[in-house]
Structures are given as structure tokens and as C-alpha cells.
């Protein structure tokens, strides 16, 4: 599904070159819910922005489905971003002038593909995420958790191969965080979505199938949840984060 091979990215400020990603390699299978954790400044957002081709990598290969992203021209890339990737951001980024339902339809409107089928899909997504009763409301009239569930539904409207989420629980209280994570779980279970979530929140990460830990610019560890219950997995993640702080 998603493969990242030997990804390098540095930033230059004045004469100083600061290497953030120093050869990141990872793989995400179809239908997986994967988190990337790491200390603040470890390059999580940079990694996500390289995968979405929002910023260019210095070197490395990123493959989504059967497409190597670096080979795409501007138009083809815009199409891949619109059709094969769904985005969920920390601050929702819903449009205030559109209703919940219109916000969900936005990527389809941008892709020029609104028809009865897409409208039915929007209704179905509202049902899956429990936001049907508020679908004609505006963002100012709904809660944080409802906004984020709307954002998850919007990310799914075009049947993307991959959902990319950057700190989706970063601005939420624990109840709303739970609602967002529940939305991802439903997307995974009911819609077979593949989710790649960057987070520093071990609670959010503990719901994932696998957690990739970034450190010093590379993948330092990968933890599988496997048969562990959620609380034990969160404790394991907390131990790893604590160890990282010690060294
Ligand atoms: N556009 C930029 N120019 C220069 N430095 C940047 C830029 N974006 C991020 N950085 C630096 O790169 C490092 C990694 O940033 P980031 O990917 O945002 O980390 P994270 O999301 O893990 O907190 C940080 O030290 C940050 O200050
Ligand atoms: Mg970040």
C-alpha cells in the first residue's frame, strides 16, 4: 500500500543545514491503522508532508499503491492527492460557510465528481460516524469531536487509498479524542480504510495495530499491538517514550 524507502529531508536556515529525516524506511499494509510517534521536533510532520508531497524530499522513494510519487508531474500529483489521499489535520480545517454535509462533499466537488452516488456516500459516511442528525449544521454549531468526525468523513469521501492524519487529537479533550479515534476505528473496520496517523499522544497511538517510533531521523522501533489489550499496549508505549527521554 504505502512504502517509504530511505527517505532523507533537511532544512536550511541561513548557512546551517539541519537534517531531520536521515533514511526513514517503512511500510503500511492495506487496512492497517498505524501511528508514528516520536519526540517533538523528531520529524513526524516532515515525514507526513513528504509522503503527501506537500514538501519535496531530498532523496528516497515513496510508493502509494503502484505509483511512485516522485515520478508524477504536477497535474497527476494533484489528482493523486485528491483521489488517493485523505487528510485530517489537527485544527479540523472545516469551511465555516459550508454545512457538515457540504464539507464532507468538498473533496468530491474539487475533484469534479459529485453525482448521486457520491451524495449517497456522504449520507452513508454521516451514518457510520453518527453525524446524520447534524449534517445540515455549520461548524460553529457543532462540538470539537463532531467537527473531527466530519473531517474524517470528508477524508474518506473519494475512497482514498490512504488517510494521513497529523496530530488529529492534538487540540481535543479526552472525550473528543476518543470520538476521533473511534471514527478511525470505524473507518478501518466498516470501510477497510488505511490510516497513517502522526501523534505524540500514547493514548491515541494505543488504538493502532502498529506504532512506528521515530528518533534521530530514523525508525528507531516498531511496536505491534498484536493480542495485547489497549491499556497494556499504552503502558508499553509509555515505557518506550520514557526510555527515550532517559538516554
Ligand atoms: N520549514 C522549515 N524550515 C526549517 N526548519 C524546519 C521547518 N519545518 C520544520 N523544521 C524543523 O525540523 C524539525 C522537525 O520538525 P517537525 O517535522 O515539525 O517535527 P514534529 O512534527 O515531530 O514535531 C524541527 O526541529 C523543526 O524546527
Ligand atoms: Mg508535528
What do you get for the CA distance between the two ends of the chain, in Å? 34
Q: Which of 7, 20, 168 to mutate for ligand 1's pocket (most ligand atoms within 8 Å of CB)?
A: 20
Q: What would the pLDDT profile of 103-157 be if each residue is shown by its tens digit?
A: 999 999 988 888 999 999 999 999 988 999 999 999 999 988 888 899 999 999 9
Domains present along the chain, CATH in parentheses: 2-246 (3.40.50.300)
CA 86 to centroid of chain Cα atoms: 8
Is pLDDT of 13 > 80?
A: yes
Cα distances (angstroms) measured from residue 93 to each of 3, 19, 44, 113, 134: 27, 29, 20, 21, 18
* Ligand 1 atom at minimal distance to the Cα of residue 38: 22
What pLDDT sits at residue 45? 95
pLDDT tens digits along 24-52: 999 999 999 999 999 889 999 999 999 99
Torsion on CA atoms 244, 30, 33, 104, rounded to nearest 10:
130
| Atom from ligand 1 closest to the CA of residue 49 | 17
Tell me the three cell numbers of residue 162: 490512504
User: Which pLDDT belongs to residue 247?
Assistant: 67
Q: What are the tens digits of pLDDT across the range 170-220?
A: 877 888 888 889 889 989 998 889 999 999 999 999 999 999 999 999 999
Amino acid at each position: 500500500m504505502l512504502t517509504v524507502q530511505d527517505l532523507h529531508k533537511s532544512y536550511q536556515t541561513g548557512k546551517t543545514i539541519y537534517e531531520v529525516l536521515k533514511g526513514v524506511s517503512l511500510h503500511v499494509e492495506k487496512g492497517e491503522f498505524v501511528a508514528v510517534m516520536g519526540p517533538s521536533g523528531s520529524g513526524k510532520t516532515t515525514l507526513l508532508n513528504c509522503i503527501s508531497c506537500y514538501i519535496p524530499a531530498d532523496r528516497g522513494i515513496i510508493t502509494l499503491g503502484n505509483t511512485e510519487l516522485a515520478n508524477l508531474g504536477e497535474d497527476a500529483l494533484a489528482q493523486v492527492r485528491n483521489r488517493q489521499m485523505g487528510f485530517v489535520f489537527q485544527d479540523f480545517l472545516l469551511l465555516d460557510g459550508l454545512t457538515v454535509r457540504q464539507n464532507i462533499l468538498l473533496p468530491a466537488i474539487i475533484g469534479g465528481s459529485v453525482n448521486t452516488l457520491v451524495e449517497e456516500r456522504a449520507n452513508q459516511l454521516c451514518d457510520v460516524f453518527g453525524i446524520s442528525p447534524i449534517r445540515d449544521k455549520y461548524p460553529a454549531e457543532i462540538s470539537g469531536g463532531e467537527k473531527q468526525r466530519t473531517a474524517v468523513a470528508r477524508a474518506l469521501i473519494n475512497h482514498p487509498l490512504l488517510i494521513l492524519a497529523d496530530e488529529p487529537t492534538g487540540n481535543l479533550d479526552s472525550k473528543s479524542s476518543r470520538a476521533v479515534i473511534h471514527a478511525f476505528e470505524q473507518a478501518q473496520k466498516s470501510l477497510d480504510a488505511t490510516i497513517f496517523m502522526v501523534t505524540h499522544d500514547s493514548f491515541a497511538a494505543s488504538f493502532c495495530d502498529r506504532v512506528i517510533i521515530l528518533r534521530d531521523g530514523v525508525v528507531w522501533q516498531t511496536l505491534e499491538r498484536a493480542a495485547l489489550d489497549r491499556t497494556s499496549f499504552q503502558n508499553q508505549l509509555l515505557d518506550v517514550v520514557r526510555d527515550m527521554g532517559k538516554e
